[in-house]
Amino acid sequence: MPNRLVRDANGVLAPKIGEGGLPDATVVNADIKVSSVQGSKLDFFLSAEQTGNGSPQPIAHGLGRTPSIVLVVPTDITGNPATFTEGVHDATSCIITATATLRYKVFAL
């Protein structure tokens, strides 16, 4: 069985970190300081409310890279069936086609 513990600079036994990152249960809630994770450092985009027009609409996100996750959230769907189609997003814009008059917001990571 491989050695899973090593001594740190203070001589304290600690889990050995190798390829693949941190071992399970290495970081627990007590290790995360209050206010150490801030939304301004998470690199995300939330649009203002958009209104669909039935055509592809580019929505500039400002991330400087192609988002890995894009969520489209309807904010008012009264009177229309909600239909969204995502286009090919790029480093400057999310492309969304939404039913005419449908209001929505875009969240991108």
pLDDT at 1: 45
Examine residue 24 and state whether it is found in any structural domain, yes or no.
no
| pLDDT > 70? residue 36 | no
Closest CA to 80 of 96, 97, 49, 102: 102
Domain count, the chain: 1
Q: What residue numbers bound the domain in which 46 lies?
A: 39-108
- Mean pLDDT, residues 68-87: 85
Examine residue 49 and state whether it is found in any structural domain, yes or no.
yes
Examine residue 85 and state whether it is found in any structural domain, yes or no.
yes
Q: Which carries the bigger pLDDT value, residue 69 or residue 77? A: 69
Examine residue 10 and state whether it is found in any structural domain, yes or no.
no
Examine residue 88 and state whether it is found in any structural domain, yes or no.
yes
pTM > 0.75:
no
Examine residue 51 and state whether it is found in any structural domain, yes or no.
yes
Q: What does the pLDDT look like over 57-74, one tens digit per residue? A: 999 999 999 999 999 999
Examine residue 91 and state whether it is found in any structural domain, yes or no.
yes
As beta bridge partners, residue 21 has 18
